[in-house]
Structure 1
């Protein structure tokens, strides 16, 4: 008697369709229904169409990312393009810390950790406080006439750019242009991009490289008390070549603002969608630490982290073969109901354990301490300064494979 497998085939096709919707343009602004479909069918899903595996559960993604025997999928994906070495944007990206494999990853990460230390980040607290006060006051002036103010343009972008510029020792006037270039360069990070995106990314990478080459030469001639000088000294000790140094500085600059920019915009949007939680934070600032963690979980910036298996591995009871690309879907993991009860609700006092917004394992984001500091200073200042915060009109969002963000967040603000 034949076995009816139509239900199984239908389920697999639904999972396949969901993953295709997530990975292929146009990328969805709201990916969570697709994540839920994947999880409901198989938390460890093999896509025969795309030749990748996808992990949508928190336990499975965490287990896999912490394995020491997997390679950076970002590097592998980049090298799938035969002419990658002919494109400055791809060469820079594949030389950056996030795309390196061992032993190069540890070599560069250890160097970065010697410069980007917890004490250095802590020393930035007065700078963060000063910039917060100045930008929030400026926001209040812009909103005083009753006109809507775009939080992305007026605060979410300039605030983290100003912080990382101060740390590196660069003028903010340069930082504004470097932010635009970094945004264009980041178009190739997801691994799927158009020819137009690649052309813009290459142009941006060339200008960024030229700028930082000049800055590096200046620091060698006239050292300063800044992170850029510290990185140059470490590199000149024989630990990095020139291209690796530029890639490291560029990646830290880009990572230093992009995650925080998204956290500010997406975090505020989430608070407006949960007015009771916003009211609670206004009333009780002692919840700030847990509130920032919950905003990080809820508004996951980097939605996927990829790895290549170097041997057969078992994840969540499922064997994944050697030599395949595996996507740990971080945003899906952060909304896994088995890990976070009522996952689609923002609960600022939530205490359900660590999220994966900063990834896990060897590629865990060590810049998270700075992002937390910035958010813990900025959000209380915003909600204390403005008694009323409302959406003025529908925001614009941008969906790209691997990253979701707000292009605009128009707000009506009243003191």
Structure 2
């Protein structure tokens, strides 16, 4: 089947209603006779699980336009999307393992893959748990789960994983937020300037830290990446972009996953009580948190050749939007898809993507989730929301801005 006519602007991911609850909009997309939907920001959206999974696994769907356009065409596309005139952002953010394909992506992923094994991540478990315990010890009565707790955890875990000194970890959240915000569809000049300015600050910090670590190497990822840079396995730009990607990719998304997870536990108190009574359910509960409300509900691909996705013909260069958040609520893939079920198994959700770009940091994210929710339930038999959470607007991210709770 050929692509249907462009349907207009009925799908509005920048609206307050979508930020509050995007799932009715996703359900409406899935329910249409033609689930390939043209969004007004020049992208064809896939909303059904089977279609999203097929596109993610298809070797013809790429993250970058580099193989599809000439240099002049790429420059024009960047101007059209307001990605131009960002020298540091272009060097270290627009180019990365996440946005590379083929041999470059495989080479960069192979260089760091061994660092993300469960055994390597397990080495962080005790330190992260101790740090989380210290955060809880400082909390009093009602507190904001996001700002007072969740926001502090991923920076410390990722910073220690990479080799950033503990005292520098708090600033990583702000840098990550400032840079990642420009990946959404609302690319104003002010947001652009913020992303470029912060990327330069981040680059300066990593350059200084790398000079120090070269003189005083440690048993950390930065030191090992510097060694690969020195042997020519990595260029300087690849080294910097990889460090930035690791620090950014799992930072805000883990904060959002923690907020989404607690929101689900509060809205389904029977599931929270079940988890409190049986901690062996923690692994499946965390999996369900990612499925039920994915922190990264959208990613894009490009058709590198004319390709077919479950009967739909997508011409070469078509920009494809993979709605992971919608796919994870597809009733064709998950029984009672809108129900939060911590015993759900199997749970083949797409919150960590699929195919060659499957998230390397999934074990680290789960470690953070387990550390926080285990201690939260240990300390507080009763947890209640103070107010309804207010969620961030946009298509690319899903998570509460704040989540005030009363505990006892």
After superposition, the Cα gap between the structure-2 partners of 1:49 and 1:265, relative to the gap in structure 1 and judged at 3 Å, is: closer
After superposition, the Cα gap between the structure-2 partners of 1:342 and 1:243, relative to the gap in structure 1 and judged at 3 Å, is: same
Per the alignment, residue 332 of structure 1 pairs with: 326
Deviation for aligned residue 1:168: 2.0
Per the alignment, residue 53 of structure 2 pairs with: 62
Partners of 2:41 and 2:147 in 1: CA distance: 37
After superposition, the Cα gap between the structure-2 partners of 1:135 and 1:324, relative to the gap in structure 1 and judged at 3 Å, is: same
Q: 1:338-349 counterparts in 2 under 5 A?
A: 338-349=332-343
Q: 1:122-201 counterparts in 2 under 5 A?
A: 122-139=122-139, 142-143=140-141, 148-201=142-195
Aligned CA-pair RMSD: 2.3
Report the TM-score, using the length of structure 1 for normalisation.
0.89
Per the alignment, residue 397 of structure 1 pairs with: 391
Per the alignment, residue 81 of structure 1 pairs with: 78
Deviates more, 1:252-261 or 1:197-206: 252-261
Partners of 2:188 and 2:292 in 1: CA distance: 29
Per the alignment, residue 227 of structure 1 pairs with: 221
Report the TM-score, using the length of structure 2 for normalisation.
0.91
The structure where helix makes up a greater share of residues is 1
Deviation for aligned residue 1:44: 3.6
Contact 2:61–2:303 (8 Å) recurs in 1: yes
After superposition, the Cα gap between the structure-2 partners of 1:108 and 1:26, relative to the gap in structure 1 and judged at 3 Å, is: farther
Aligned pairs, number? 395
Name the SS for the 1:319 alignment partner.
strand
Deviation for aligned residue 1:287: 0.9
Deviation for aligned residue 1:49: 5.2
Deviation for aligned residue 1:313: 1.6
Deviation for aligned residue 1:153: 1.1
Deviates more, 1:326-335 or 1:373-382: 373-382
Would you say 1:267 and 2:250 are equivalent positions?
no
Per the alignment, residue 198 of structure 2 pairs with: 204
Contact 1:303–1:402 (8 Å) recurs in 2: yes
Per the alignment, residue 93 of structure 1 pairs with: 93
Contact 1:43–1:57 (8 Å) recurs in 2: no
Partners of 2:330 and 2:297 in 1: CA distance: 13
Partners of 2:17 and 2:317 in 1: CA distance: 26
Partners of 1:61 and 1:73 in 2: CA distance: 18
Partners of 2:177 and 2:369 in 1: CA distance: 21
Partners of 1:150 and 1:182 in 2: CA distance: 20
Per the alignment, residue 4 of structure 1 pairs with: none
Structure 1 gap ranges (5+):
1-10
Name the SS for the 2:222 alignment partner.
helix
After superposition, the Cα gap between the structure-2 partners of 1:43 and 1:271, relative to the gap in structure 1 and judged at 3 Å, is: farther
Deviates more, 1:288-297 or 1:399-408: 399-408
Q: 1:114-125 counterparts in 2 under 5 A?
A: 114-125=114-125
Partners of 2:205 and 2:336 in 1: CA distance: 47
Structure 2 gap ranges (5+):
none
Deviation for aligned residue 1:119: 2.4
Name the SS for the 2:92 alignment partner.
helix
